[in-house]
Structures are given as C-alpha cells and as structure tokens.
A and B are shown apart, each in its own frame.
Chain A
Amino acid sequence: MLGFGLVCFSALDSRAQAPQSTPASQPIHVLMIFNESQDVPGNIVLEQAVRVEMQKLVTNRIEFSSEYLDARHFSDQEHFRVFQDYLGRKYAGQQLDLILVFPSRDYRLARELPNTLFPDVPVVFVAVNEMEVPEAIARLGVTGIVQRFDLRGTLGLMMRLQPDTRRIVVIGGTNEVDRATLGRIAEASRALEGIEFEFWTNRPVADVPRAVRSLPEGTVVLISTVVSDASGQTYYMSQLAQMLAPVASVPVYVLGGWVIGSGAVGGSVVDSQDLGTRTARLAVHVLNGADPEQIPIEVVTKGTPMVDWRALKRWNMKQNRLPADCVVRYRPNSIWEEHQTLIVFVGVVFLAQAMTIAALLVQRMQRRRAEMEIQRQRTELAHVARVSTLGQLASALTHELNQPLGAILRNAEAAEIFLQKDQPNLEEIRAILADIRRDDRRAGDVIDRMRTLFKRRSMVSGRLDFRNLVEDTVALARPDAEIRQIQIITQVPPQLPAVHGDRVQLQQVLLNLILNGMDAMNTTPRPERRLTVRVSEAKDGNLLVAVSDRGTGIASEDIVHVFEPFFTTKASGMGMGLAISRTIVQAHGGEIRAANNALSGATFAFTLPCLDQPNP
C-alpha cells in the first residue's frame, strides 16, 4: 500500500510570487515533503514523474528538495514536531516557490506544517488511498489530487480475463487505511453475483505464500493494502506481489501500476506515471499564479487497465479478451520493432541478391534451352543426313533384301511341289525349311542394321565395341560395293581399347566416309577399286579410324574446304555429310582429317579418345 503521498499546497496569498515574474536565469525552488521514507516504490515512480514533467513545463531550472517524515517508523507526535522544527530551521533563509506534499493519510503535512512554516508558499498535494479528504484542507486553500484504487475496474478486468472465476481471495491488512480499502472492495464485490469473496486479514502475511500455493482452480488472488498485518508487520503492495504471485497456484491481481512486473497479472491500476504528470500540471498551474483556493481537489477513481504480458502467457490468457485501452507491459519487442532498420536493410540486400540469382537462373535456363535447341537441331540434321546416306544405299539394300526373300519364295514354291507328290521327300522339305529360316534371319539382319540408323534419336553415349561397329557398318555398304564392283577390306585388330560414344552417330560417320570413298572410285579401273577401313590404336592412345580409297583424290585447292557445310564435288551431293561427320567426331572429343594418298585416292581418318584398358 503506501505509495500515496499527498501533495498539498497552500494556496497562499496573493503575495505568492508568480514564476512568470521570476527572471529566466533564476531557478525555481520546490520543496517536496513525503509522509513515508524514501524507499516506497509507488512514491519513487510518482516523484520521478512529477519532477520530469514539471521541468518539461517550465523554462526556469527547477531545484527540488525532498524531505521524508518516515511516519511508518516514527509515528509519535514528538517526531512530527522535531521534523517540523527541522524543516523550519533548514529552509528558514530559503526562497521557496512551491511546496509539493505526498501526505499519505496524514493531511497535517499538507495543512498545518506548511501553514506554520511557510505561510506564503503555495501548497499542492497528491495522495493515493481510500481515506476521506479532510474538509478543512480544501477550505485552507490547498489543492491537490486524490487517486483512489479502481476496484470496480480491477474486478471487471479479472472477470473478463477469467470468466470462470468463482472465488476471490483478498490479501489485506488491519490498519485503518487497510480497512478503508477492504471496505471499498466489499462494496465493489456486491456488483458481482455468485462470486465468493474471502478476506485474508487475520493470518500473518508471512503465512500467506504457503497458503496460495494450493488454491483450487476458479480462484484468484487480489492484493489489497497491508499497512499492518495481523502480526503488526507492514508490507508494500509490491512486496506482497513478489511474495505471492510467483508461487500462487492461481493468478494474482493488484491495484498499483508500480506493482506490475512482480509476477501479478495486473489490474485496473493507479498509473503513477500518469498521476505524476497530472500532478505536475496542477503544480505548474499554481506556480503560474493560479489561486489554489479556486482549484477544487480532484478525486480520481478511474484506473488504467494494465497487465503483465509474461503473466498472461503463464496463465495462458487470451490477449483478445483485454479491453481495448489496456496497457500491456513487458511484451517483448518483436524482432521487427527492435531491428526495423537492420531488417529492412538486410531484406533489401536479400531481395537484391535473390533477384540477381533469379535473373542468373533465368539466364542460365534460357542458355540451356538454347543449347538444347542447338543440340536438337544438330541431332535432327544428323538424322536427315543419315537418312539421306541410307537413301544412297536403298537400291543396294533392296537387292540385299530381295536375295533372301527370293530364296524363301523359291523354296516355298519348291516345297509345295514336293508335298504334292505321292511320297514327298521329307528330307528335302526339312532342308528347305532350314534354308527358309536362315534366309529369314539374313533379311532380318539387313533390316535391323538399317533400322537403327533410320531412327530419329538424340545422342546416347555408351561403351562401344568398335570392331563390331565396323563390321556392321561395312555390312551395310557391302551390297552397294558389290554392285559397283568395289572390294572393301577391313583391318581391325582383335584387341582394341574401348571408346565411349554414340554408336549410331559414329556408324554414320564411318558409313559416310565409306560411301564417299566408293563414290570417288567410279572412274577407277575395276581391279583397282579397293576401299580399306583400318582401325588402329594411335601413339597418343587414341583410336584411329582410317578409310582409304583408290579414287581420284581431292583437288589441292579443295582439301581445306572438304569439311565445310555445302561443300561438294558430287552432282547429287548435299555437301553436309562431312560437315556433320566433323561435328559428330568433335562432339566425341576427336578430330577428323583428310589427305591424299601417295599413289592414288584419298584417306579420311578420325580419332576418338579411348576409355582406358583395351577392350577384351
């Protein structure tokens, strides 16, 4: 409790000098007189608020002097007389402009004392309690503010936060101040239907912490004033809250703003800051020359709803139940509130970075898409060239197919005739069927070899057996070679290092070189028409594939152009074969070259990087 001082101020006569008349350089002297000692929590906040606010409102520097009666410890008449005597001597030669009194319940401090000692100095008081204000004060021309506890408001807040409350335990004292407060609580409780009020005034406060530890659900604790408990001890409200709130099994409510922070939930409290501000304004008003006698004493009963955010969390109370004007203390600042600038800055940096990254990604995607498109077109072009190459072979391949198909037909016809005989020669028919099967397989092989090259497909890399690749490719070209009376000789060692690549595309390259070589020999005398496909392992570890013809060779001015697109010496050529071959070989990490032979014809050779070990 405590915490009420009472500032009174004697309105003094008209001689009281108005501060406006005080030269700006002259400090204003205010004497603050407290009923309590200097360590009363409520007063500390209040005094500070008054000092700060007053200085804000007045241009002259204000000198404050504070004096404490400490009535709690020294309550006898003699002490009061000594205190008054002391003040009288101490400030005898002093120029005082205002006396601010925090009288608590002892209105003598606001009335008799200043009147006796400093009859010309105006007096303003401020008090926080439930005591009646003596009529005499008002009549003596002292004005001030009396702040009451907002019991109704506190009970209302309590019910709002905890609608299920059935029982309210009030911790109170036995002193006349305490009794006045309790009386007001009892009065306010009548507004609450069906709620049981328990006033714990008879047990020493020292025993209370243990008792609140096991209060049942539906109970709340309200801390009233304990100027004197059952054992005669004095407790400040903030002390009580510190003792009870942390250990209580139920929420604890309080009446003073300065108590909040000790673990209590809150209440519709006396806001010392606000009270101090209002007091300061009144004081300055009087300093400025207002006649205290003309200013009625203000009695405030309205409190400020105020809660401790941490306690709300502890009791799991919903913030949306709080009244709109409720002050929430100790809410941790959000990171946003605390580091707004930094967050904005970092955010902007991140955003810029993200946008840069996004832009880079988009760029990369576009590039990838473009690369894929180029790849696709390259594949497409290779396919077109391949189909065109196969087209050159079409006639020869048809012949190659008709051979087995014709044989199958003749065999079938023969078998029919055999079967019509009286005693068919089954041995012969069996031989026929075996031949038919073999010829079918032969035709199938031709088709298979062609089909892989006809397929439209993207590059597929794999480990290649180059010997097998050469055999297949030469098999494709051989029928055409036979028609053109060209001998194809292959020289492939049995052991070759493995290479990695796209079988179809490399076959295409080889086939292209073979067909070019064959074309070059159209005018070569027949016995000399010989094409050699030679595979070997080069010194640098690469695989070397060379196709040599005995044709006309390459004109010296053409030799640098043969791999250029659309370069052709043939009447029907597209001029893409070698260009595409070069693209394919380069994509495999190899090189392709052309050179004339010493005697006749030309040799086209390409290299491919080997994987590692020789292919078994």
Chain B
Amino acid sequence: MTSAPANPAGTVFIVDDDASFLRSVSRLLSAVGYTVQTFESAQEFLNRLNPEMSGCVVADLQMPGINGLELQKALKLSANPLPVIFLTGQGDIPTTVMAMRGGAVDYLVKRAPKEELLAAVQQAFERGAKERHQRDHLRGLRSRFDQLSQRELEVLERVVLGWMNKQIAADLNIIERTVKLHRTNLTRKLGVQSVAELTRLVDEAGLFKSQKDNRTNPAEPGR
C-alpha cells in the first residue's frame, strides 16, 4: 500500500459526471488519507471555487456541458488556478497534447494503476503548494510596485532597460533632475539599493513583459 501523504494539507476536488467512478476515486483517496470533495459537473465545481481552496483538481476529460479542457482553461483564468490531473476513459493524442500544453499535472487513463494516480496527486499537491507560494510572493512584490505613481512606473520601465537619465528625460519630455527625483523615490519605495537589484525585482514581478521585447533604445538610432 502506498504510504499516506506526509502532509495532506489541502483537498482533492474530484469532478466527474460518472457518479460511480466519482464515488470510487473518492473512496480510494479518502482511504489513503486525503480530504476529498466531489462534483458531478465542472460547472458545479466552478461555482464553488474560491481562493481559499488548496490542493488539486482530478477531472474527467469527457463531460457533458463544460468538459475537462474547458474547466482547465477556466481554472487557469481564475484567482485560484489549482493544479489539474486529467482522468479519461480513453485518451487520444491530440487531447493529451492540449491537456499537457494547458498545464495539466498529469493525464491518466481511468484504469491507471493506483500508484500513478497517487503519485500524480502527490505531485499536484506539491506543485500547488509551490505555485501558491509563488503567487503569494508575487502578490507581495506587486503590492510594493503598487505604491509607485504612474510617472515613477514610466521612469522605472526605462531604468531597467538601461536608459540614461538624459534619454529618459527626453523620452518623457521632462527635465533630467525630475528623472533623478523619481528614481530616488522609487528606489526608496521598493527598498532596493542598486539598479541590478531593481531589475531582478521587476523581472520577478513580471512587470513590463509585454513591451520589453519590442521596445528599443530611442537613443540608439540617433547614434
């Protein structure tokens, strides 16, 4: 028998339209020590989803109404993107690829050995915990950036790109001294000492990602 999870902090949310299968998986996972909640449709689960929930989702891929992949998509967009393990009667390759690309922890046939299922749940729990931790961290970071004014964010964006104060002033159409003042303020607000540290923090928070790549140094063509 597989050992009970070391610390089953969290719940396994099982979503399957087949009541009998739902019951059987619920029994097994309960027996090995997990807390289990069952849902007969994806809609029912999504209705109950809240940010306090932790653990993982074990869902059937083929369900009437909202199917597995759609559930995965909805979950990912939600405030609480719990890790998903898919169970399927018969997996075909395109569906598998889509599921994994969508970030599924695992993709198992319904008759997969117990060990695989338990390992997948274990892994999902770990990943869930890690992601939750990251989310919490990021939320902390973001709350720090939230203190910055719009102008400070604009300056910061250009600072991490390595622009000089003079360039920034020209780009934003302000005087260089004002740029310096903004830089002082934002480093103070974010509690960083150097530009390097500032850059790392911006990266971690995932700020400016969309623009970063296509934005070039306006001074460059001038050289």
**CB within 8 Å of B: which residues of A?**
395-396, 398-411, 413-414, 416-418, 420, 428, 432, 435, 438-439, 442, 482-483, 485
Do B28 and A414 touch across chains, with their CB atoms under 8 A apart?
Answer: yes
B88 contacts A by Cβ under 8 Å: yes
Do B67 and A402 touch across chains, with their CB atoms under 8 A apart?
Answer: no
Would you list 12 pairs from A and B whose C-beta atoms are within 8 A, ordered by A residue? A400-B89, A404-B21, A405-B111, A406-B89, A406-B109, A406-B111, A407-B18, A407-B20, A413-B28, A413-B114, A418-B31, A420-B1
Alpha-carbon gap, A401 to B18, bound state (A): 12
With A396-B90, A428-B27, A483-B62 given, can you name 11 additional A-B contacts, CB distance below 8 Å?
Answer: A399-B62, A403-B89, A405-B110, A406-B89, A407-B110, A409-B24, A409-B111, A411-B28, A413-B114, A414-B27, A432-B27
Do B20 and A414 touch across chains, with their CB atoms under 8 A apart?
Answer: no
Alpha-carbon gap, A442 to B89, bound state (A): 14
Contacts of A410 in B (CB 8 A): 21, 24-25, 27-28, 114
In whole Å, how far is A414's beta carbon from the nearest beta carbon of chain B?
4
Do A402 and B20 touch across chains, with their CB atoms under 8 A apart?
Answer: no
Alpha-carbon gap, A411 to B25, bound state (A): 7
Alpha-carbon gap, A482 to B67, bound state (A): 10
Q: A417-B31, A417-B32 are in contact. Are A438 and B20 (CB under 8 A)?
A: yes
Alpha-carbon gap, A428 to B27, bound state (A): 9
In whole Å, how far is A434's beta carbon from the nearest beta carbon of chain B?
10
In whole Å, how far is B90's beta carbon from the nearest beta carbon of chain A?
4
B213 contacts A by Cβ under 8 Å: no
Alpha-carbon gap, A420 to B25, bound state (A): 18
Contacts of A396 in B (CB 8 A): 90
Chain B residue total in the interface (Cβ 8 A) = 25
B135 contacts A by Cβ under 8 Å: no
Q: Which residue of B1, B28, B30, B62 has the most chain A CB atoms within 10 A of its CB atom?
A: B28
Contacts of A405 in B (CB 8 A): 110-111
User: Contact mask B31-50 → A, CB, 8 Å, 1/0?
Assistant: 11000000000000000000
Do A439 and B20 touch across chains, with their CB atoms under 8 A apart?
Answer: yes
Alpha-carbon gap, A396 to B64, bound state (A): 14
Do A485 and B90 touch across chains, with their CB atoms under 8 A apart?
Answer: no
Question: Which residue of B is nearest A395, CB measured?
Answer: B90
B92 contacts A by Cβ under 8 Å: yes
Alpha-carbon gap, A482 to B66, bound state (A): 11
Alpha-carbon gap, A98 to B18, bound state (A): 137
In whole Å, how far is B60's beta carbon from the nearest beta carbon of chain A?
9
B137 contacts A by Cβ under 8 Å: no
Alpha-carbon gap, A408 to B28, bound state (A): 11
Contacts of A417 in B (CB 8 A): 1, 28, 31-32
Contacts of A483 in B (CB 8 A): 62
In whole Å, how far is A616's beta carbon from the nearest beta carbon of chain B?
34
Do B1 and A404 touch across chains, with their CB atoms under 8 A apart?
Answer: no
- In the A-B complex, the 5 residue pairs with the closest CB atoms: A406-B110, A399-B89, A410-B24, A414-B27, A417-B31
Q: A405-B110, A407-B18 are in contact. Are A398 and B24 (CB under 8 A)?
A: no
Do A399 and B64 touch across chains, with their CB atoms under 8 A apart?
Answer: no
Q: A395-B90, A400-B89, A417-B28 are in contact. Are A407 and B21 (CB under 8 A)?
A: yes
Contacts of A416 in B (CB 8 A): 1
B130 contacts A by Cβ under 8 Å: no
In whole Å, how far is B94's beta carbon from the nearest beta carbon of chain A?
12
Contacts of B1 in A (CB 8 A): 416-417, 420
Among candidates A398, A420, A439, residue contacting B90 with C-beta atoms closer than 8 Å = A398
Do B27 and A411 touch across chains, with their CB atoms under 8 A apart?
Answer: yes
Do B31 and A402 touch across chains, with their CB atoms under 8 A apart?
Answer: no
Question: Which residue of B is nearest A421, CB measured?
Answer: B31
**CB within 8 Å of A: which residues of B?**
1, 18, 20-21, 23-25, 27-28, 30-32, 62-64, 67, 87-90, 92, 109-111, 114
Contacts of A439 in B (CB 8 A): 20
Contacts of B31 in A (CB 8 A): 414, 417-418
Question: Which residue of B is nearest A406, CB measured?
Answer: B110
Contacts of A428 in B (CB 8 A): 27
Contacts of A418 in B (CB 8 A): 31
In whole Å, how far is B190's beta carbon from the nearest beta carbon of chain A?
48
Q: Which residue of B1, B20, B32, B87 has the most chain A CB atoms within 10 A of its CB atom?
A: B20
Do B64 and A485 touch across chains, with their CB atoms under 8 A apart?
Answer: yes
Alpha-carbon gap, A407 to B38, bound state (A): 14
Do B64 and A411 touch across chains, with their CB atoms under 8 A apart?
Answer: no
In whole Å, how far is A426's beta carbon from the nearest beta carbon of chain B?
14
In whole Å, how far is A157's beta carbon from the nearest beta carbon of chain B?
106
In whole Å, how far is A488's beta carbon from the nearest beta carbon of chain B?
11
In whole Å, how far is A430's beta carbon from the nearest beta carbon of chain B?
13
Alpha-carbon gap, A406 to B20, bound state (A): 10
In whole Å, how far is B39's beta carbon from the nearest beta carbon of chain A?
16
Among candidates B21, B30, B67, residue contacting A485 with C-beta atoms closer than 8 Å = B67
Contacts of B87 in A (CB 8 A): 406
Alpha-carbon gap, A485 to B114, bound state (A): 30
In whole Å, how far is B137's beta carbon from the nearest beta carbon of chain A?
37
Contacts of A409 in B (CB 8 A): 24, 110-111, 114
Question: Which residue of A is nearest B17, CB measured?
Answer: A482
Q: A395-B90, A416-B1, A485-B64 are in contact. Are A402 and B110 (CB under 8 A)?
A: yes
In whole Å, how far is B116's beta carbon from the nearest beta carbon of chain A?
12
Contacts of A400 in B (CB 8 A): 89
Do A482 and B89 touch across chains, with their CB atoms under 8 A apart?
Answer: no
Alpha-carbon gap, A396 to B24, bound state (A): 21
Do B23 and A435 touch across chains, with their CB atoms under 8 A apart?
Answer: yes
Alpha-carbon gap, A417 to B18, bound state (A): 23
Do A411 and B111 touch across chains, with their CB atoms under 8 A apart?
Answer: no
In whole Å, how far is B149's beta carbon from the nearest beta carbon of chain A?
47
Contacts of B27 in A (CB 8 A): 410-411, 414, 428, 432
Contacts of B32 in A (CB 8 A): 417
Alpha-carbon gap, A401 to B109, bound state (A): 12
Contacts of B23 in A (CB 8 A): 407, 435
Q: A411-B27, A420-B1, A428-B27 are in contact. Are A435 and B88 (CB under 8 A)?
A: no
Q: Which residue of A411, A413, A439 has the most chain B CB atoms within 10 A of its CB atom?
A: A413
Contacts of A435 in B (CB 8 A): 20, 23-24
Question: Which residue of A is nearest B63, CB measured?
Answer: A482
Alpha-carbon gap, A400 to B89, bound state (A): 7
Do B24 and A411 touch across chains, with their CB atoms under 8 A apart?
Answer: yes
Alpha-carbon gap, A406 to B92, bound state (A): 17
Q: Which residue of B30, B62, B87 has the most chain A CB atoms within 10 A of its CB atom?
A: B62
In whole Å, how far is A520's beta carbon from the nearest beta carbon of chain B?
20
Alpha-carbon gap, A361 to B37, bound state (A): 77
In whole Å, how far is A443's beta carbon from the nearest beta carbon of chain B?
11
Q: A407-B18, A483-B62 are in contact. Are A402 and B24 (CB under 8 A)?
A: no
In whole Å, how far is A418's beta carbon from the nearest beta carbon of chain B?
6
Alpha-carbon gap, A400 to B1, bound state (A): 29
Do A403 and B28 touch across chains, with their CB atoms under 8 A apart?
Answer: no
In whole Å, how far is A487's beta carbon from the nearest beta carbon of chain B?
8
Do B89 and A407 touch across chains, with their CB atoms under 8 A apart?
Answer: no
Alpha-carbon gap, A405 to B63, bound state (A): 18
Alpha-carbon gap, A428 to B28, bound state (A): 12
